[in-house]
Structure 1
Amino acid sequence: MYEQGNYHRGNAELKDIARFQLQGRWGNAILGFLIYLIITLAIGGVPRAGGFIALILQGPMMLGLAKFFLQFKRTNENVPYELLFSGFNNFTNSLILGVLIEVFVALWSCLLVIPGIIALLSYSQAFYIMADNPDIAPMEALQMSRSYMNGNKGRLFLLQLSFIGWAILSIFTLGIGMLWLGPYIKLSETNFYEDLMIRPLDNSFEENSYDGD
C-alpha cells in the first residue's frame, strides 16, 4: 500500500513478520504478556478501589508493555521481564497519557459508539511514541498519534478484526489459547507502529486541532 509516496506493508505481511519474530521465543512473549495480564486483572479486581487504582497504574503498565514488545521486535534475544515495569520510570507522563486517553475516548463515546472507536484508534500509537521518546509531553504524544493515524485508522481496525476467528477459537480452549493469541496480536500491532513510522510527519499534527478523527 502506498501513502504519501511511502510503501506500507499489508496487514497479512505484518502478521507474517510477527509469526517469524515469535519463532523460538514464544515462551518469552507469552510470559511477558501473561505477567501484564495478571497484574492488570488483579488490580481491576480489587474491591471498591480497583477502578481507581487501575486508572492510576494503567498508563505506566501500558508504556511498559509497549517497551517490552518494541524491544522484542528489535532484538533477536529474549526480553527481560522487568522492562514491563519500566513505565514507572516515566510515571507522571505515562499516568497523564493514560488518563487523557480514557477521558477523550469516553467523551467521544458519549456521542455514539463509533466515534469512541475512532478516537481509540486515533490515540492507539501514543504509548509507542512515548516509549521511543521518553521526554515527550502526553498531549504531544496524542497529537502525533492522531497525525500518524490520519488515513490509517481503517488499516489498524482491519488488522485487529482479522484476529476475531482466532479469538473465537480461543473460547473453546477455555481462554488458554489467548496466551498465544495475545502476544501475536500485540506484536502485529507493534509491527504496524514501526511500519507507520516511515510516513513523514511534517509537523502536520500542529496544524490539526482535536476533531475526534
Structure 2
Amino acid sequence: MRVSSDFRELARRALSGKWGSAVLTTLVASILGADIAMAGGPSVSRVTNYVSNTMGNGGSDHSYSTQLSSLSVTTLTYIFGAVMAITGLIIMIGLVQYVIGSFVSLGLIQYNLDLIDGRDAELSQIFSKASMFGKAFWLRLRMSIFTFLWGLLFIIPGIIKAYSYSMSGFILTENPEMTAEEAMEVSMKMMKGNKWRLFCLEFSFIGWNILGVLSLGIGMLWVTPYQNAAVTAFYDEISREPLN
C-alpha cells in the first residue's frame, strides 16, 4: 500500500518536463473558480463577513466615529454606495466563478488524470466537460450543502464528510453517465478506510504550503499543481480497489 511520499513521487514524475503546462492550466482553472476537490471556489461568505465586520468595528471605535461625524452626509452616502457597489461586484464575480468553476473543475480533474496516466495533457482540457455543466454544478452544490449540514453537527463531522465526498468529482469525470448522487455514494464507499490516508497526504504538503504563502503566494503556483497531481495519483490507486 502506497504512502504519502509515494504519491508525491508519482506526482513529480508525472510533472517532469510539464511544469509550465501544469502551472498555467491550474492558474487559469483557479481564476475560473475551479477546485479539484470541487469544494473551493469563490469565498462569498468571507467577503460579506469582512464587510459586516468592518462596518461593525467602525461603530465601536470612538475616534473613527468622531472622524465620520465630521464628514458630510453626501460624502458618506457616496462612500457607502461605492462600498456596496464593490461588494456586490465581488459577490457577483464569486457566484459566476462558482457556476463556471463547476465544469472547469471536472476539466481540471481530466487534465490531471491524463497527466498521471502519461497521456497528453493540455490547457484546453479544462473546458472539455462543458457539456456536463448541469450535472457538474449540481454535484458541487450538493456536496457543499451536505458538507455544510454535517458541519452544523460540529466541525469534525463536516470535515469527515468532506473527505468522504472528495472523490466525487473524479468519479463523475470518469463516469459521465452517473448522477451526482451516485458519484457521491461511490465516493463514500471508495473512501472507507482511506480518509486518513488522504488527510496524511494533504498534511504532508503543509511545509510547501507555508513556503508558498511566505513567498506572497507566488510559490502556490507550483505547490497547487503538485498537490493536485498527488491527490490524483491517490485516486488512481484507490479507484482500482474493490468497493466495500
TM-score by length of 2: 0.75
| Cα displacement string for residues 47-103 of structure 1 (whole angstroms, at most 9, x for unaligned residues) | 3323433342332121111111111112254x2211101221111111111111010
Q: Give CA-to-partner distance per residue, 1:21-59, whole Å, 9 cap, x none.
A: 111111111111111122229x84843323433342332
Aligned-pair CA distance for 1:182: 0.4
* 1:71 matched residue in structure 2: 114
**Paired residue for 1:152?**
194
Whether the 8 Å CA contact 1:129–1:141 is kept in 2: the answer is: yes
Aligned counterparts of 1:55 and 1:20: Cα–Cα separation in 2:
31
The residue correspondences of 1:110-129 to structure 2 (distance < 5 A) are 110-129=152-171
Aligned: 1:30 with 2:17: no
Partner of 1:59: 102
Q: Runs of 5+ in structure 1 lacking a partner?
A: 1-7, 205-213
SS at match of 2:129: helix
Distance 2:223 2:90 in 1: 29
Structure 2: distance between partners of 1:48 and 1:76: 38
What amino acid sits opposite 1:22 in the alignment? L
Identity %: 35
The structure whose Rg is larger is 2
Instruction: Give 2:11's aligned amino acid.
Output: A
Q: For the structure 1 residues 89 and 21, does the alpha-carbon distance in structure 2 shift closer, same or farther, using more than 3 Å as the test?
A: same
Paired amino acid for 1:33: T
Verify the 8 A CA contact 1:58 1:98 in the aligned structure 2.
no
- Distance in 2 between the 1:47 and 1:33 partners? 22
Q: Check whether the contact 1:126–1:144 (CA below 8 A) recurs between aligned residues.
A: yes
Map of 1:90 onto structure 2: 132
Structure ranking higher in helix proportion: 2
What stretches of structure 2 of length at least 5 have no aligned partner? 35-40, 45-88
Q: Supply the distance in 2 between the matched residues of 1:68 and 1:84 (Cα, whole angstroms).
A: 7
Check the 8 A contact 2:102/2:137 in 1, yes or no. yes
CA distance in 1, matches of 2:99, 2:195: 27
RMSD: 1.7
| Aligned with residue 14 of structure 2, among 12, 16, 21 | 21
Instruction: Give the aligned length.
Output: 193
Kept in 2: contact 1:126–1:145 (CA 8 A): yes
Cα drift, residue 20 of structure 1: 1.2
Structure 1 distance, partners of 2:3, 2:190, is 16
Structure 1 length as normaliser, TM-score?
0.85
Q: Which of 214, 221, 234 is equivalent to 1:179?
A: 221
In structure 2, relative to structure 1, the CA distance for the partners of 1:39 and 1:56 (3 Å cut) is: closer
Corresponding residue of 1:48: 91
Distance 1:192 1:95 in 2: 24
The code of the aligned residue for 1:12 comes to S
